[in-house]
Amino acid sequence: RSSLLGVSALDRSKRAHTRIHAQLELSGPHAVSVKEGALGMEVQINGGTSFVVTPGDLDPAREDTLEQAAQRAAAALAIAIGESAESRNVEALSRALALALGGTVLYCVLLWVAARTRRALLGQLVALTHRHTAKLHVGGVALLQRERLTRFVQLMLTLVYRLVLVLITVEWLSFALRSFPFTRAWGESLNGYLLSLVMPIFTQAIEAIPELLTALLIFYLAYLFTQALGRFFDRVQSGGVRLQWLD
């Protein structure tokens, strides 16, 4: 981010890249540590300095201290070293492949379960819709048209089903990518993107629950009123109730 002793930031980055590769060629545990030096905080591998984090390297937007920035850089370096070693380990790659295949099998099972659940729910909801719309009549006039309400229920269920498919697919793809060291960053970014996309929708859905409950309550009260009104007029028609003002 900044120059150091006349060396530009770009040249510092290139030198650090070359030095890290040379250090990783040496045997040893490749342990990453942080040490305070004369020019700043030194990030080291096996006790040898890889690069230096100086006050000029700090990001003003993060408000990190010099030590915090160095620790964060050291943590990123340790992850990169571990993933680099993992990508050259046949046993680790075999485990990653097995995990990815297992995740794919589970993904296919979840797709099958989602499809079966959708078909079962669709049949039950359509039957329930037909039963209740048949009761919502005033003076022989239907308050709700059965065909339109059925199409609405089918549409809503299809939207929920497709949303579930998208969530399952993104989670499966993220899991498969995170299983391998050379695609792990893509999987983590994909999962973060999904969370950033879903959380606002979920928050808005939670905020809309009171209004939805109010609408459902109004609908239910209207249903009870029409039921009571229907029974009342049935009794009037059968002679069980006489209205003096209609004589």
pLDDT digits (tens, 9 = 90+) for 110-158: 999 998 888 888 877 777 766 655 555 544 444 455 566 667 777 877 8
Residue 51, helix vs strand vs coil: strand
Tokens of 194: 């999904």
Q: For the ranges 7-21, 55-69, 124-138, 204-218, which has the lowest average pLDDT?
A: 124-138
Q: Is the pLDDT of residue 2 over 60?
A: yes
The token pair at 149 is 């309400």
Average pLDDT over residues 4-21: 81
Q: If we measure between CA atoms, which residue out of 169, 173, 203, 167 comes closest to residue 189?
A: 173
Q: Which residues, 6 or more positions from 103, have their beta carbon under 8 angstroms from its beta carbon? A: 172, 175, 176, 179
Give CA–CA dist 67/160, Å, rounded. 48
Q: Strands, E, within 113-206: which ranges?
A: 137-138, 141-142
Looking at the predicted structure, is the pLDDT value of residue 159 above 80?
yes
The predicted pLDDT at position 7 comes to: 76
- What does the mean pLDDT of the chain come to? 76
**pLDDT at position 147, please?**
65
DSSP 182: T
Cα–Cα separations (whole angstroms), residue 99 to 146, 178, 210, 244: 48, 10, 42, 80
> Which is more confident, 101 or 214?
101
More confident call, 42 vs 194? 42
User: What integer pLDDT is reported at residue 113 of this predicted model?
Assistant: 92
Residue 111 is predicted with a pLDDT of 92
- How would you label 124-157 residue by residue, b for 16+ Cβ within 10 Å and e otherwise? eebeebeeebeebeeeeeeeeeeeebbeebeeeb
- pLDDT score, position 104: 92
Whole-number pLDDT of residue 138 = 46
* Window from 120-124, 138-142, 205-209, 213-217 with minimum mean pLDDT: 138-142
Band of pLDDT at residue 108, cut at 50, 70 and 90: very high
Write the CB contacts of 243 (distance below 8 Å, at least 6 apart in sequence): 236
pLDDT above 70 coverage of the chain, percent: 72
pTM, rounded to two decimals:
0.53
> Between the CA of residue 131 and those of 134, 143, 149, 152, what are the distances in Å?
5, 13, 12, 16
Cβ contact 79:90 at 8 Å? no
Beta bridge partners of 33: 44
Q: Does 106 score more than 90 pLDDT? A: yes
pLDDT at 164 over 50: yes
Cβ-contact 104, 173 below 8 angstroms: no
Residues whose CB falls within 8 Å of the CB of residue 205, separated by 6 or more in sequence, listed in order: none
Q: Is the pLDDT of residue 187 over 70?
A: yes
Reported confidence tier of residue 109, pLDDT bands at 50, 70, 90: very high
Mean pLDDT, residues 60-70 taken together: 79
Between residues 181 and 33, the one the model is more confident about: 33
